[in-house]
Amino acid sequence: MPKEAQPRRYDRQRNPKVPPHVSIAILRQVSGLKLDEVCDLVAEVTGDRPTKGALSAIENGHRGASAQLIAGLEHAYKLPAGSISTNYVPRNTPASSEVA
């Protein structure tokens, strides 16, 4: 069930804005880490080493990440717990039955 929009308190209220964000791909680039190094740091927390391909797919938005992997990424980038948010609008992709 979709949530109903809350009634506005004032007639001329600003529309909500999306808070600024930094993609994890950019975060990795500015931190100077390579995918292999991030994989090793994630493994320290999760006990399971993700592949470079899996991290690349997550960075590019082709795949989601588990809460455990996100905790590992926060450790790798020296971020406080809960810093990486997954609040985003999913891409609109056609259903497999709609593909011609």
Q: Residue 12 — pLDDT band, cuts 50, 70, 90?
A: confident
Instruction: Please give the Cα distance from 3 to 61 (Å, whole number).
Output: 25
CA contacts within 13 A on the Cβ side of 97:
0
Residue 79's nearest CA partner among 20, 18, 35, 38 is 38
pTM of the entire predicted model: 0.68
Q: 96 vs 10, 38, 81, CA distance in Å?
A: 43, 34, 37
pLDDT band at 58 (very low <50, low <70, confident <90, very high): very high
Supply the mean pLDDT for the chain: 83
The pLDDT of residue 57 is 93
What percent of the chain is modeled with pLDDT above 70? Answer: 78
